[in-house]
Amino acid sequence: MTDVRPDFRVGPNDVLRFVLELFAIFSLGFWGFVAWPMPWNIVVGIAAPALAILLWALFRSPKAVFTIDVFGRALVEIVVMAAAALAWWDLGQPIVAGVFAAIAIVSGVVNGRKEFA
C-alpha cells in the first residue's frame, strides 16, 4: 500500500505566516483586556481574537469553509493583520505596530506572489 500525500511543502514564509497569525490573535486579545475598562475588557478581550479566528477559519485558512478568490483572501488577511497592528498602535506601542505591520506586509506580498504563480 502506498502512502498518498498531496504535493504540499512548508517553507520558511509559511512558518512566518503562522507565527504572524498567532501574534495577531494574541495582540487582539491583549488589546481587548488592557485597553478597555471593566467589564468591557472581558467582552472585547474574548470577542476580538474570536472574531479574527472566525474570519481566518471561514475564509483564509488552507481548509477554509468558504472558497473565495485570491483578492478576497488577501482582504481578510489585511483586515486581521491591520487590526492587530492598530491594536498595538492604540496601546501606545508604535514600534511594535510598525515592525509587525512591515513583516506582515512583506510576508503577505511573498505569499500573494506565490498564490498568483
Q: What is the 3-state secondary structure (H, E, C) of the chain?
A: CCCCCCCCCCCHHHHHHHHHHHHHHHHHHHHHHHHCCCCHHHHHHHHHHHHHHHHHHHHHCCCCCCCCCHHHHHHHHHHHHHHHHHHHHHCCCHHHHHHHHHHHHHHHHHHHHHHHC
Which tens digits make up the pLDDT trace of 16-25? 999 999 999 9
Q: For the chain, state the CA radius of gyration.
A: 16
Residue 6 confidence class, pLDDT cut points 50, 70, 90: low
Is the pLDDT higher at 6 or at 33? Answer: 33
Q: Mean pLDDT in the chain?
A: 90
Q: Which residue, 1, 11, 16, is CA-closest to 107?
A: 16
Q: What residue spans define the domains of the chain?
A: 12-116
At residue 113, the pLDDT reads 86
